[in-house]
Chain A
Amino acid sequence: MSFPWAAHYTPKAPLMKWIDERLPLPRLVYNSIGAGYPVPRNLNYMWNFGVLSGLALVIQIVSGIIMAMHYAANDLVAFGTVEHVMRDVNSGWLIRYAHANGASFFFIVVYLHIFRGLFYGSYKAPREMVWLLGLVIYLLMMATAFMGYVLPWGQMSYWGAKVITGLFGAIPVVGEPIQTWLLGGFAPGNAALNRFFSLHYLLPFVIAGVIILHIWALHIPGSNNPTGVDVKGPQDTVPFHPYYTAKDGFGAGVFLILFSILLFFAPNFLGHPDNYIEANPLSTPAHIVPEWYFWPFYAILRAFTFDFFFVPAKLLGVLAMFAAILLLFFLPWLDNSPVRSGKFRPVFKQFFIVLCIDVLILGWCGGAPATAGYVMISQIAAAYYFAHFLIILPLIAMFEKPLPLPNSITEAVLAKHNLQGEEPAAVPAE
């Protein structure tokens, strides 16, 4: 895989040699995240978020497995078992708050990871498969997070489950049978809670499997870099270990500091108070909102308030919400500009900034009550969201004149240092 100059694994300890001859697992690790994987030397801190996403998944799986030891997926006692974790289990509060806030941090780092890919063109050839598998991971994460939020069986859990499965009810003819089939009943109940728990425990391991494919696909062409220029030779790369393990170690420290601040000092900041009220099918909360990481899509869902001929607004909203996610799968073919990095694409860069602001606005509207003002803002923002990916990106690719690219990664690195005067240019000896 990757480059011909990649270091080869030569086990030193006899035990490792013995294992490697029988099962080349040490070799696999060495070639994936060890010294055997050459990585562009110029990666910036935005390239930390892949490893941090992996770290977040590990935190979720470890805390989740411990939570599952104390939790009971039964609608009569689920809420109480969560309180049992919070009150009676040794350090249970830590485990549960880590799991609840860990989900948010998982999405934070994954969103940064995705937007890094969007800006630096990491979805473009030859990395389309990396991008597609990443989106599969993202979809699995959304499903896992949604089902996990149902498990405490609070008011938002219950009504969230009702609203989200109700989306399927918008499909004509087969919608309502599908909703009933998904829930195992006409409303969320014990059947739904049990299957959500089962799937919530399963999917993270599926995610781990797809992550292996994601990394495998990444290692065929090797990592992208901030210039977007291909690696030309050994001088352009450094071995992943120790260079990027050290950098990721520092990144993990910063991640854990921020995570700890939220976890220990504001553990309910990102949660909704209504989820501390036990699920009650007879009392609808005033504002049903999903967790913050779904807000942009929730805003798109609610932005459709008018029917289109015979298509009801609700169905349009559902279609648009799914389209908003699924269109990302076509991104490598929508944006066919040959230049990867947004650094060298002056027009793209402007629109990328607008997209970032647009998604933040959608998120803000999605978390707000569905009043006329917020809905109107979401409509403008949603119009831009679709236009950005489906109309503007293909057009930019056609008309934009990119800036000149550096000849190589090394040239770009040295040019940067010369400009900043940190090191005088190497003058050839005469």
Chain B
Amino acid sequence: MLRAILIAIGVFFSGMMLYSFGASTYAYLTDPAAPTAEEEFHLHPKEVHFSFNGSLGHYDRQQLQRGFQVFKEVCSACHSLKFVAFRDLEQLGYSEAEVKAIAKQWTIKAPDVDPKTGEPSTRDPVPADHFPKPFANNVAAAAANNNAIPPDLSLMAKARHDGPAYIHSLLTGFQSQEGFKNAKGKELLKEFPDSKTPEGLHFNPYFANLNLAMAPPLTAEGQVSYGDGTKATVDQMATDVSAFLMWTAEPKLESRKSTGMAVLFFLLIATGLAYLSYRNIWADKKH
């Protein structure tokens, strides 16, 4: 009896699925879903080489410092970095005194309370502070940015597929929508005349829906003057700031990889010994 009920349930669900398959095939053949502009014209991130790729990769301190400079002079005007503290910058090779100076001279002041009146006030950040947010709240951020809230950048490199390459591609991917063609040679505005970038947005095929609110932030060579003499091309600045944001997202990447090597070395030996003892114990038993 139980089996009969169960078999009936099986016939129902399997039958339902086969019927649904037939019906969806019919729908697919008679009325296929039209492809969208995003499906056809969205680009995957470019191939970018970073020193931290690979199982032995590590950060290039010079590059992180350059990336930090780009963040400081360009990105930080709109984007917060709320999970990173000034003291963390010592990991980039800055001395304690330099970090103190960076914090003190930071354009955006840290929120505080006036010790005499209890009124909200601001003060110079100290190394223990996290990077102060450029806007008091989301409403202020949206009001200042054409109704779009600039996202926090602390974790951006882990919050997108292929993060660092994505950031690099996005920063260098702004282009004219006129005449933009995909790999198949189709032209966006000819295929999808309705998908013209709306007023106030900017066309960028690396962005999920092709148009984003952020204006191209890196526009000219030499926008940032690097202290170490590296030529500040747009591509170089984009690569450096992508590397910096990978560090902000994964500051423990280097100790993770080096610990991993030591752990693997230990485990390989231990497992080898475990295998030998297993063979030894079983030597007298056929199995």
Give Cα A20 to B32, complex, Å: 73
Mostly helix, strand, loop or mixed at chain B's interface?
helix
Name the residue among A97, A320, A386 with the largest chain B CB count within 10 angstroms: A386
Task: Check A353 for interface membership: any CB of B closer than 8 A.
Answer: no
Residues in chain A near residue B7, CB distance under 8 A: 390-391, 394
| Chain A 377-399 interface mask (CB, 8 Å, partner B; 1/0) | 00110111011011100100000
Residues in chain B near residue A43, CB distance under 8 A: 287
Q: Which range holds the interface residue count of chain B?
A: 35 or more
| Chain A 146-173 interface mask (CB, 8 Å, partner B; 1/0) | 0000000000000000000000000000
Q: Is the CB of B287 within 8 A of A42?
A: yes
Task: Check B25 for interface membership: any CB of A closer than 8 A.
Answer: yes
Closest to A390 in B: B10
Name the residue among B28, B260, B261, B268 with the largest chain A CB count within 10 angstroms: B260
Q: Is the CB of B17 within 8 A of A330?
A: no
CB distance from B193 to the nearest CB of A (A): 24
Q: Which range holds the interface residue count of chain A?
A: 35 or more
Which of B24, B55, B274 has a CB less than 8 Å from the CB of A372? B24
Q: Is the CB of A386 within 8 A of B17?
A: yes
Give Cα A423 to B284, complex, Å: 12
Q: Is the CB of B24 within 8 A of A379?
A: yes
Q: Is the CB of A413 within 8 A of B287?
A: yes
Task: Check B220 for interface membership: any CB of A closer than 8 A.
Answer: no
Q: Is the CB of B274 within 8 A of A249?
A: yes
CB distance from B265 to the nearest CB of A (A): 10
User: A386-B14, A387-B14 known; A379 and B20 CB under 8 Å?
Assistant: yes
Which of A87, A265, A278 has a CB less than 8 Å from the CB of B252? A87
Closest to B38 in A: A286
Q: Is the CB of A286 within 8 A of B21?
A: no
Give Cα A308 to B12, complex, Å: 11
User: A94-B256, A257-B271, A417-B286 known; A304 and B16 CB under 8 Å?
Assistant: yes
Supplied contacts A41-B287, A250-B277, A390-B7, 19 more A-B pairs, CB within 8 Å? A83-B83, A86-B252, A87-B251, A243-B282, A249-B278, A253-B270, A256-B271, A268-B158, A306-B16, A306-B20, A333-B2, A372-B28, A382-B13, A383-B15, A386-B10, A386-B13, A386-B17, A387-B14, A390-B10
Interface of A toward B, CB cutoff 8 Å: 41-43, 80, 83, 86-87, 93-94, 97, 238, 242-243, 246-247, 249-250, 252-254, 256-257, 260-261, 263-265, 267-268, 273-274, 276-278, 286, 303-306, 308, 316, 320, 323, 327, 330, 333-334, 371-373, 375-376, 379-380, 382-384, 386-387, 389-391, 394, 413-414, 417, 423
Interface of B toward A, CB cutoff 8 Å: 2-3, 6-7, 9-11, 13-21, 23-25, 27-28, 32-33, 55, 83, 88, 151-152, 154-155, 158-161, 163, 208, 249, 251-252, 255-257, 259-261, 263-264, 267-268, 270-271, 274-275, 277-278, 281-282, 285-287
